[in-house]
Amino acid sequence: MTKNLRDLDFTVPAPCDIAYPAPIRLYVDAQDVLRGILQVRQVIPVRSGGPLTLLFPEWLPGYHAPRASIALFAGLRIEAGEKELPWRRHPVQVHAFQVEVPAEAEQIVVSFHFLTPTDSSQGRVVVGKEILTIQWNSVLLYPAGYYARQIEFHAFLTVPAGWQHSCAIAAVDRQDDTIRFEPVSLDVLVDSPVFAGRYAARVPLDDQEKVHLSIFADKAELIDISEKKIAPHRAVVEQAGKLFGPAPFDRFEMLLGLSSELGRIGVEHHRSFEAVTVPDYFTDWEGCFSLRETVPHEFIHAWNGKFRRGADSWTPSFDTPIRNSLMWVYEGQTQYWDRVLCARSGLWTADQTLQAIAVTAATHQVRAGSRWRPISDTTRDPIIAARAPLPWPSWQRSEDYYSEGSLVWLDIDTRIRMLSGDARSLDDFARSFFAADQQGPAQTLTYTLDDVIAALTDLAPFDWGGFLRERIDGKHTGAPLEGIERAGYQLVFRNDPGEFWTNTEKLADNLNLMFSLGLTVDHDGKVEEVLWEGPAFEAAITAGTKILEAGERPFSVEALRAAVQEAGRSNGRVRLRVTSGTCEREVEVHYPGGLRYPHLTPLEGARPRLLEILSPRV
């Protein structure tokens, strides 16, 4: 007799490294693009009757946090034969569902909807009228009690008529608009998103045709794959191979979406990455250049983050919490290398790269948060804040292991060079630490802090443990600028913004006065961010405040910029009329410095190590 679910214990089984008895068949229908509704049907074999716990993937690699969209999961129905089975959700672990399987059942059929956001206020939009992305973790349940690598899935995806698709998992058959993928384990499936759309192009980026750039766009005319624009993407693959050595994959799909409908994203996977950027990425090639770092960043993660990963960031299944203590290696070093590869590949010029590094250095030079919070504590931010907007990011800090971490790795690189008489560098660390000795779909080799220290010591004997304790676990004032200076440059501020700064302002559609007035503001006058203890902070201006007037003129970015310039030439006061809530007031912001923008300038007589670092490898 089937028991009442209320009489059953509901403890989620811990994952074990044993094989699930038979493959699970997964059918996803993604044809309803007008409403963005994904219909899911699964056929799950069962060994015997009794309680079965099914899990919606929760802790997702690449997000470093429990970022699964369980709130968009709806319409769950579970059947055995012709009989609908009751289910219940765990009262605390809300991604877990329990069902009592009848003794005579050999399989159960699970169906549900994944209701993709139809507006950005509901989450990241993933389905457009001519383009969509499928993250498999959003469209499946899996049995608890097994390592993800021990559950085999046979996946089928139905797309709108005539649409093309790309995925790191091979398609073994297509009947009409239903694609059948090769059987893979659950961990490989979740690590292999799909892009699909009406307008697409797939371009090989290496001679062996192992790496492809798969482009999907809202419109056909957005896909401009002239050789001038593809060549630096090929160079990313070439230069990454020279940097890291043998690849940890047998094939790789760079999934690049060009869309105004889909939400922006950049997430790494073992044999692919998924990135959605501005629709004019190619058609306004020069006007969007500062966004090009996404491609090298996510590609680098194939080595740093997917193949090699901090030991506490690897878990056996998606219900096991991820810990992120070595994110300053995973993400911080990747951000360092993405700028280097931008320069080495030609995605950026050397001067554009210097300007990008200057912005990072200046940002941490003025941020006060490092006085109370070390980089190591920011590795918890994916779980703490999940990238939600913050009222005072320069004081609170948010995932600074990326950007400040990149400055620490520049320090390490130049220190290795100095200690070895410029015979060795962080390039040598990358090749020895990240090179793969075999290729495959999901191999992960973990490491500890001791492994990092040992690898650095092999290159250049030094107290790397003490150095990292100070830089990563210590509190400090200002940015770690020693690497820049050892590289032959210094951080300065001038009144001209530079090409990189101007481009980022254009793409962000704002005016960035962070290093002068201490705020950024959009073109409607709404303040986006205020620097902790900066001039605007002292005038009690906050994010969300709206500037109505700047000087004696109605607000415009030109009027505010002119008011700051005038204050630098005269009395050092910027008069603003602002409103916040129901309160309208006039304020004077005391700031005598005029416009200030960060730059790197050569140190006289110093070896230009930074230019050597940015030079292509032959």
pLDDT reported for residue 438:
65
Q: pLDDT tens digit string along 471-508?
A: 999 999 999 999 999 999 999 999 999 999 999 999 99
Segment 529-539, tens digit of pLDDT: 999 999 999 99
Collect all residues with Cβ–Cβ distance below 8 Å to 138 and sequence separation of at least 6: 38, 68, 69, 72, 114
142 & 18 share domain: yes
**What is the predicted pLDDT for the residue at 67?**
86
Q: Determine, yes or no, domain membership for 222.
A: no
Q: What is the pLDDT of residues 316-340, one digit of tens each?
A: 999 999 999 999 999 999 999 999 9
Separation CA 155–CA 171 (nearest Å): 10
CATH at residue 438: 1.10.390.10
Q: Is the pLDDT of residue 56 over 90?
A: yes
pLDDT beyond 50 at 313: yes
The confidence score (pLDDT) of residue 252 equals: 97
Q: Is 201 within a domain? A: no
Work out the mean pLDDT of the chain and round it to a whole number. 96
In angstroms, the CA 300 to CA 237 distance is 9
Beta-bridge partners for 212 = 204, 253
pLDDT at 54 over 70: yes
- Give yes or no: residues 507 and 466 share one domain: no
The whole-number average pLDDT for the span 369-390 is 95
CA neighbours within 13 Å on the CB side: how many for 334?
A: 28
Task: For residue 552, give its domain range.
Answer: 499-597
Judgement on whether residues 49 and 159 belong to the same structural domain of the protein = yes
Q: Which two tokens stand for residue 67?
A: 């970022």
Asked whether the CA dihedral 247, 248, 249, 254 is positive or negative, the reply is: negative
Quick one: 379 and 442 in the same domain? Answer: yes
Give the pLDDT of residue 153: 98
* Residue 68 pLDDT: 85
Rounded CA separation 405/381 (Å): 14
Asked if residue 300 belongs to a domain, the reply is no
Domain count for the chain, please give it. Answer: 3
Return the pLDDT at 3: 59
Q: Which residue, chain included where needed, has tokens 């060549």? A: 231
pLDDT at 427: 98
Q: Using one digit for the tens of pLDDT, what is the confidence trace for 12-26?
A: 999 999 999 999 999
Last residue of a domain, one of 195, 220, 255: 195
pTM for this model (two decimals): 0.96
pLDDT at 376 over 60: yes
Residue 1, pLDDT score: 47
402, 512: one domain: no
Confidence of residue 369 (pLDDT cuts 50, 70, 90): very high
Q: Can you name the residues that pair with 87 across neighbouring β-strands?
A: 99
User: Are 421 and 345 in the same domain?
Assistant: yes
581 Cβ partners below 8 Å, 6+ apart?
none
Q: Which residues is 266 bridged to in the sheet?
A: 275
Q: Does residue 143 share a domain with residue 34?
A: yes
209-220 pLDDT per residue, tens: 999 999 999 999
Domain end residue (candidates: 166, 195, 224): 195
Domain shared by 399 and 519, yes or no: no
Domain-located, residue 233: no
Model confidence at 38: pLDDT above 90:
yes
